[in-house]
Amino acid sequence: MDNLTPMFVVIPLAAGFVIPMVSRRLRAASDVFGVLVMSALAVMAAAGARRGGVYAVGDWVSPQGIPLGIEMRLDGLAALLLIAVNAIGLAAVVFSVDYMRRYTSKLRYYSLFMFMVAGMNGVVLSGDFFNLFVFMEIAAIASYALVGFGCGHEELEASFKYLVLGSVASAFILIGVAIVYNMTGTLNMAHVATRLAGQPLGRPMVLALALFLCGFGLKAALVPFHAWLPDAHPSAPAPVSAMLSGVVIKALGIYVMARLLFNVFGAGAAALAVLRGMGALSMVAGVMLAIGQWDMKRLFAYHSISQIGYVALALGLGTPLGIAGGLFHMLNHSIFKSLLFLTAGAVEYATGTRDLKRLGGLRARMPVTAGTSFVASMSIAGIPPFNGFWSKLIIVLACVQAGRHGLALAAVAVSLLTLASFLKVQRYAFFEAAKGGTEHVREAPPLMALAMVLLALLCAGTSLLALTGIASPALIDRAAQALQAGVFGLP
Amino acid sequence: MNDPHAKEGMSLIVKTVTRWLKGFLLLYGAYIVLYGHLTPGGGFAGGVIVACAFILVFLACGAGIGHRTLGRLAASELDSAGALIFTAVGALGIALGGVFFRNFIRTPPEAHFRLLSSGVIPVCNIAIGLKVGTSLFMVLAILSAVHVAVKGGRRRMVRRREDKS
Amino acid sequence: MIYALCLMLIAVGLYGVVVKKNVVKIVISLAIMEYGINLLLILVGYRAGGHAPIMEPGASPAEFAAGAVDPLPQALVLTSIVIGLGVLAMMVAICIRLYERYGTFDITEMRRLRG
């Protein structure tokens, strides 16, 4: 078996425990260690892109020859998410080396960060319901702590809100797991899928599916359940916001929903319609709420809701083109949204504020930040050379192809509103003349700039993926195939 | 008795009983951990009992003596060590058996129901017991330190709070 | 019947989370909800008249498997209790910090953020 698979969980988990032990003795060790571990993980994720297979942890076998124990499953979709999580994680860690100097206790920060990454990798690789739940909770507890890391008024309040809603979501998911186990007698996703295949879902399974949709919808911040996100994401330190908005809501929310809907329960028309509806609603509501915001990070957070809506809408179409577009947009969104949060962090680091009314004229003072922020803004607004354009184009085409012209129109309109609100950010923060008090402002330190440039290059680079064909961009097609393959067969 | 911490904590009766009891509690916790693969119990349950022994000392004799019994730094190190032993068992599975968490200690069938049986599971139990015992103690110690700060309204605890893990 | 009682316990917890204004009461409500779910999980694996899934020396495996309750939900509950412990500790720590900052446990008075 391929021993690479469990390492995605083991390495960050072990690092999370080693970092406090080592860096109590050596001060700089936590920085070096954090960057090294995340680079290793990013390289491993790139190496794992073409691999696949099922990994039985421990290889335990019952006397009757039935395999027991935990399964990890690496397929195209998991590989795509692993690349996103670990690449964004690397950029965030490089950014934090300088940025986190303002906070106390860096070693605890890195330790929690590693647990968060381990939890997300575990969720993505997990092949059974309960381990998915456990890894989700590891990532969630670490992110609750990271949101409240600053220990100010807002941070604690946001963290508490996130914690309560997150716990309720976890409770729903656990009830769902209990129902699935009761009805099928197994927790392994592949076994559950084969037991459910070929017959309509019974009433208990519909209840379980509804509970899963509510729970993971809450984790993904789709609209009826979005209340925690605009508080929690801006309150966290910038690299953590980048991780939360960039990958946590996807790995813990959208990924699991897609996996369960397409691979385990079999994509029923009703469930897809619910996903589509929630997606369209979040897409519109998110952008409406975003456009009036003056806090830079809060504005970005509302846009996360809106962009997650695009992904859910596209996946909810259920057509091959829709799935490809949704997954492509998910990858793109994780890149440009984390870049946006990092630039907001750099602005806050240099000026001490993120209120758009008090900023201005930063273009001359912080050229790297302004440039990367421009790239990211144009990406999210869907301007042609950048990646956001291609994925939105695929989504709109998929809507038209599926005969849902209203949804296509809504997607285009939301894209225009997104453009408007990002022009506002660009104008007030970077282009408009300085309002005074910005003389002391200097460009962000080199490592922060490096992280931002890296992500900006990725923004331009992933648009090249679309060159291999609109319907199946490279790297995405394998993930889309994993979803379209329908319910899992037994390995 | 010129110990500065002697006046902290509860009455003499409670302290004396605690002194007698703590050894037995630790022994019982260790028994539950070590026999986890044969009887009900295991790493978590045994670890909780071990933590209870420390917490009892902490509550009865006050934070000063409590921390002398098990310092917070030592607890944190032991906590990490427990987790690392557990990971190491998994990694040894790769090294010796080719699969993560492979059972690499083979025991013959006639050893079943003896203390030294069940392959790597007792080792994992010990690691989990270590981890649970120390981290539960840390949770209580850290939360109680903050509680004092709120009651006294002093900022003395600000530095202490930072070692939260 | 017993399942309904579990669901009631969960509903009581959910009611508390939604309605109560005191931070500590919200935490307690979440804990109640979790206990309800743990109870539900244990019930899923229960078998009337079954015995504990621990093998005695000399018992035959087939006989043992026929009489024991399902051990898997019990393992799940143990894990879920540990997770609950972690979340609870985290919540209590945040409550203490909130009290330090705001001097109150009432969430209606914590209004820095509009959501």
Is the confidence at residue A263, as pLDDT, over 90?
A: no
Residue B83's identity, in one-letter code, is A
A184 neighbors A192 (Cβ within 8 angstroms): yes
Segment A121-137 shows an average pLDDT of 90
A48 neighbors A479 (Cβ within 8 angstroms): no
Task: Report the range out of B113-122, B127-136, C94-103 with the highest average pLDDT.
Answer: B127-136
CA C90 to chain centre: 15
Task: Report the range out of A339-343, A425-429, C43-47 with the highest average pLDDT.
Answer: A339-343
3-state secondary structure of A73: strand
Mean pLDDT for chain A? 85
Which residue, chain included where needed, has tokens 């179409």? A317
Is the confidence at residue A489, as pLDDT, over 50?
A: no
How far is A111 from A118, CA to CA, in rounded Å? 11
Structure tokens at C12: 């009581």
Which tens digits make up the pLDDT trace of C6-64? Answer: 888 899 999 998 888 888 899 999 999 999 999 988 888 777 777 777 777 666 767 77
- Chain A residues with CB under 8 Å of B160 CB are none
Is the CB of C115 less than 8 angstroms away from the CB of A168? no
Domain boundaries, chain B: 12-161
Q: Touching check for B102 and chain A: CB below 8 Å?
A: yes
Running DSSP on this structure, what letter comes out for residue A254?
A: I
Top-confidence residue, A473 or A136: A136
Structure tokens at C59: 């018992």
Is 1.10.287.3510 the CATH number for C2-45+70-109? yes
Segment A370-385 shows an average pLDDT of 87
In this prediction, residue A119 carries a pLDDT of 93
Residue A103's identity, in one-letter code, is Y
Segment A311-336 shows an average pLDDT of 89
In this prediction, residue B41 carries a pLDDT of 77
How far is A285 from A413, CA to CA, in rounded Å? 12
| A331 falls within a domain | yes
How far is A164 from C87, CA to CA, in rounded Å? 10
In this prediction, residue C32 carries a pLDDT of 93
In this prediction, residue A100 carries a pLDDT of 83
DSSP states along A117-147: HHHHHHHHHB-BHHHHHHHHHHHHHHHHHHH
In this prediction, residue A470 carries a pLDDT of 62
How far is A117 from A159, CA to CA, in rounded Å? 19
Which tens digits make up the pLDDT trace of A390-411? Answer: 889 989 999 998 888 889 999 9
Is the confidence at residue B161, as pLDDT, over 50?
A: no
Tell me the residues of B at the C interface, defined by beta carbons under 8 Å apart.
39-40, 44, 112-113, 132, 136, 139, 142-143, 146-147, 149-150, 164
The lowest-confidence range among A9-18, A101-110, A342-351 is A101-110
A156 neighbors C101 (Cβ within 8 angstroms): yes
In this prediction, residue B164 carries a pLDDT of 33
B115 neighbors B35 (Cβ within 8 angstroms): yes
Is the confidence at residue A428, as pLDDT, over 70?
A: yes
For residue A355, list its beta bridge partners.
Answer: A295
Top-confidence residue, A281 or C108: A281
Is the CB of A104 less than 8 angstroms away from the CB of B90? no
A351 neighbors A429 (Cβ within 8 angstroms): no
Kindly indicate the confidence band of residue B16, based on its pLDDT and cuts at 50, 70 and 90: confident
A95 neighbors A238 (Cβ within 8 angstroms): yes
Which tens digits make up the pLDDT trace of A169-224? Answer: 999 999 999 998 888 888 888 888 888 877 777 888 889 999 999 999 999 888 88
How far is B85 from B127, CA to CA, in rounded Å? 6
A32 neighbors A81 (Cβ within 8 angstroms): no
Distances (CA, A) of A264 to A72, B39, C90: 15, 37, 33
Distances (CA, A) of A180 to A124, A183, A275: 20, 5, 20
Q: Touching check for B159 and chain A: CB below 8 Å?
A: no
B79 neighbors B29 (Cβ within 8 angstroms): no
Which tens digits make up the pLDDT trace of B56-81? Answer: 888 887 777 777 777 777 878 888 88
In this prediction, residue A136 carries a pLDDT of 92
Is the CB of B100 less than 8 angstroms away from the CB of A3? yes
In this prediction, residue B163 carries a pLDDT of 33
Q: Touching check for A17 and chain B: CB below 8 Å?
A: yes
> Which runs of consecutive H residues, i.e. helices, occur in A268-353?
269-291, 296-317, 320-351
Mean pLDDT for chain B? 75
Domain span at residue A275 reads: 146-484
Segment A308-312 shows an average pLDDT of 92
- Chain A residues with CB under 8 Å of B100 CB are 3, 6, 10, 55, 57-58
| A446 falls within a domain | yes
- Chain A residues with CB under 8 Å of B77 CB are 21
The percent of residues in chain A predicted with pLDDT above 90, rounded, is 25
Q: Of B81, B91, B102, which has the smallest distance from its Cβ to A58's Cβ?
A: B102
Please tell me the distance in Å from C102's CA to the nearest CA on chain B.
12
Q: Which residue of B has its CA nearest to A16?
A: B80
The percent of residues in chain A predicted with pLDDT above 70, rounded, is 93
In this prediction, residue A313 carries a pLDDT of 92
Q: Which residue of B has its CA nearest to C74?
A: B40
The alpha carbon dihedral of A114, A117, A120, A122 has a sign of negative
Domain count, chain A: 1
Which tens digits make up the pLDDT trace of A50-84? Answer: 777 777 776 676 666 666 677 888 888 888 899 89
In this prediction, residue A118 carries a pLDDT of 93
How far is A162 from A482, CA to CA, in rounded Å? 32
- Chain C residues with CB under 8 Å of A177 CB are 76
C73 neighbors C45 (Cβ within 8 angstroms): yes
Residues 146-175 of A with CB under 8 A from C: 148, 151-154, 156-161, 163-164, 167-168, 170-171, 174-175
Top-confidence residue, B141 or A305: A305
Kindly indicate the confidence band of residue B7, based on its pLDDT and cuts at 50, 70 and 90: low
How far is A446 from A104, CA to CA, in rounded Å? 21
How far is A233 from A308, CA to CA, in rounded Å? 14
Q: Of A14, A56, A57, which has the smallest distance from its Cβ to B84's Cβ?
A: A14
Q: Of C83, C97, C112, which has the smallest distance from its Cβ to A154's Cβ?
A: C112
A180 neighbors A208 (Cβ within 8 angstroms): yes
| A73 falls within a domain | no
Name, in order, each residue with C-beta under 8 angstroms of B87's C-beta and a sequence gap of 6 or more. Answer: A10, A13, A14, A17
Is the CB of C57 less than 8 angstroms away from the CB of B112? yes
Q: Touching check for B146 and chain A: CB below 8 Å?
A: no
Top-confidence residue, A168 or A292: A168
Is the CB of B76 less than 8 angstroms away from the CB of A17? no
Top-confidence residue, B43 or B147: B43
How far is C108 from C115, CA to CA, in rounded Å? 13
Segment B44-65 shows an average pLDDT of 84
Is the confidence at residue B156, as pLDDT, over 70?
A: no
